[in-house]
Structure 1
Amino acid sequence: MKKLIALLALTASPAFAATGPFFSLRNTDFIVTIAFLIFVGILIYFKIPSIIGGLLDKRAEGIRADLDEARRLREEAQEIYASYERRQREVKTQADEIVANAKREAEAQAAKAREDLKQSIARRLKAAEDQISSAESDAVKAVRDRAVQTAIAAASEILGKQVGSGQRSAGIDEAIEDVARRLN
């Protein structure tokens, strides 16, 4: 086989190629045709087309597997995305509920605080009124006590001047009892 290839290489040189009959070694077209057929024969002898076909089949299987994997990953990504959107909607709903609850609680707390403030103001007003009435009653009592003391002092001075010493003690006792009855 090697001898045949060497022989064809020597016979296929450009010096031998010339114009003339087609089946002549001097015709370049004939030489090229024979060289091509020998090349194809060598390729077939060493089963190069089946090797190339096998490589192409393996490559096609690899591509098919990659496409299947890509399709599977795409479906998984779509499921994850749908799950994410669903969770996002749930979280948004929960957030809306939390905000609504917070608003309701804030309004309730504000109403309670207003009510507590009203009650506190009412208690303070009542305490202030009680203090005022207590101070008023203390002032009235103090004025009354002062008036009693002044009346007693004035009565004893007047009686002391008008009455003699014997009648003095009986008249004083009567005057004191009379003043005490009038005040109470």
Structure 2
Amino acid sequence: MQNTKHRATNYALYVAIVMGICVNSAFAAEAPAGGGLLSLLGIDPKTIIIQVIGFLVVLAVLWKFVFGKVGGLLEERREGIVAQLEQLRTDREELDRLTAETRQRLADIETEAQAKIQTAIAQGDAERQQILTQARQEAETEIARARAEIQREKDEAILELRGVVAELAIDAAGKIISEELNAERHQHIIDASISRLPAGSR
């Protein structure tokens, strides 16, 4: 727009110079002594003036209907280019922001995944240790119960054996008292009583 105005100013300056020359020549042509420069060149001053006026009219029309519109179009084009450049800059900044956010989000996801993996590993170790401890406790409880059962059965067997031995002793003593026995007969009764005992108590 400024270049267009500058060119129009130059055109107006040129026109003013030409008009000055023409007017000067016209007045010189009317001078009585030998004529002016235009007369020497065979140019009619009135024709020059008419042509200059026509040129100024054409210049005014062009200035109003052509230069103004062209300048407006150029200004609109310049503003459009500036707006596009500004939009490109804004889009680039938005793209950079989204890229940074995406990278940060990926880093956060990776950190969160690593934390979950470590938590799962620790939880698995804790559960494994708990299972081993529980199994050990159950085994110890079962062993203690089996030992108690064995001890109980052993105690019952001893009590039963004592009862049998007492009965046999009483029976043998009664037989010894009721009979007059020699040593061989006495030994035979004892052996018979012992043979009646359970096999594990001999």
Q: Smaller-chain TM-score range?
A: 0.5 to 0.7
- 1:88 shift after superposition: 1.1
Matches within 5 A, 1:11-160: 44=58, 47-160=61-174
Query: Unpaired runs of 5+ in structure 2?
Result: 1-50, 179-202
Identity of aligned residues (%): 10
Corresponding residue for 1:169?
A: none
- 1:153 shift after superposition: 2.5
CA distance in 2, matches of 1:80, 1:45: 49
**1:64-84 deviation digits (Å, cap 9, x = unpaired):** 111111111111111111111
- 1:162 shift after superposition: 3.8
- 1:61 shift after superposition: 1.5
SS in 1 for 2:161: helix
Amino acid at match of 1:112: A
**1:92-136 deviation digits (Å, cap 9, x = unpaired):** 111111111111111111111221121111111101111111111
**1:127-168 deviation digits (Å, cap 9, x = unpaired):** 11111111111111121121122223223333344447xxxx
- Structure possessing the higher relative contact order (Cα contacts under 8 Å, 6 or more residues apart): 2
Question: What stretches of structure 1 move > 4 A for 4+ residues in a row?
Answer: none
Corresponding residue for 1:170?
A: none
RMSD of aligned C-alpha atoms? 2.4
Amino acid at match of 1:71: L
Corresponding residue for 2:190?
A: none
Amino acid at match of 2:103: R
SS in 2 for 1:47: helix
CA distance in 1, matches of 2:99, 2:67: 47
CA distance in 2, matches of 1:158, 1:63: 139
CA distance in 1, matches of 2:65, 2:148: 119
Query: Unpaired runs of 5+ in structure 1?
Result: 1-36, 165-184
Aligned pairs, number: 125
TM-score scaled to structure 1, two decimals? Answer: 0.60
